[in-house]
């Protein structure tokens, strides 16, 4: 099963909406792979015994994982995390998320500085390469439960991105490398 991905119609509306362009322009798995995004669909109900997941963890050297559950209306801490996750940011390491319940969107900058929206749902696992500009939002289900994978420690560090025109040169350099 391939992810649903499309160029988004940037809007100031509710970030949980699909923001599909009209006509909608779908993005292929090959196009996502060109910018370093990897994707799998596994059985989320059997994540603890899923052999493909175990092989993936071993091949990447992931020694740590945790669970992140986000639900709208479940307290200020959750709302604050959702605001932070929707700010455009980058990580120095890969970001790996495996969706066990619910759904959400990863908005990813492509090489032309356009937003691609990737919809992850139950069973979807996505790997974003280090340095990729992105943000995350719940979808209209208002709930997601994810497994996050880490190599060394349970550390999630992000750097928020500038919206100044000068950011383009560093962004382009990362995308071209």
**Domain edges within the chain:** 4-176
| Tokens of residue 51, six digits | 């052999």
Q: How far, in Å, are 132, 137, 143 from residue 169 at the CA level?
A: 14, 26, 36
Binding-site annotation: residue ranges: 89, 91, 95, 134
* Helices then strands, each counted (H, E), the chain: 4, 10
Q: What is the pLDDT of residues 41-64, one digit of tens each?
A: 999 999 888 899 999 999 988 888
Report the C-alpha gap between 105 and 121 in whole angstroms. 9
Binding-site annotation: residue ranges for Fe(2+): 89, 91, 95, 134
Binding-site annotation: residue ranges for Ni(2+): 89, 91, 95, 134
pTM: 0.85
Report the C-alpha gap between 83 and 160 in whole angstroms. 12
Report the C-alpha gap between 61 and 75 in whole angstroms. 34
Q: Which CATH class is domain 4-176?
A: mainly beta
Q: What is the pLDDT of residues 66-104, one digit of tens each?
A: 999 999 888 778 888 888 899 998 988 899 999 999 999
């Amino acid at each position: 099963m391939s992810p649903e991905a499309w160029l988004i119609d940037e809007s100031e509306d509710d970030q949980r909406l699909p923001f599909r362009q009209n006509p909608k322009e779908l993005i292929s798995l090959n196009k996502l792979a060109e910018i370093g995004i990897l994707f799998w669909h596994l059985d989320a109900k059997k994540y603890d015994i899923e052999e493909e997941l175990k092989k993936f963890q071993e091949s990447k050297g992931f020694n740590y994982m945790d669970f992140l559950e986000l639900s709208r209306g479940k307290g200020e801490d959750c709302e604050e995390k959702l605001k932070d996750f929707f700010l455009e940011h980058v990580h120095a390491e890969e970001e790996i998320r495996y969706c066990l319940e619910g759904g959400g969107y990863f908005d990813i900058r492509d090489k032309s500085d356009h937003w691609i929206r990737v919809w992850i749902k139950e069973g979807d696992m996505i790997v974003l390469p280090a340095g990729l500009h992105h943000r995350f939002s719940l979808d209209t289900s208002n709930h997601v439960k994810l497994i996050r994978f880490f190599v060394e420690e349970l550390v999630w560090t992000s750097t928020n991105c500038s919206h100044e025109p000068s950011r383009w040169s560093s962004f382009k350099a990362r995308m071209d490398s």
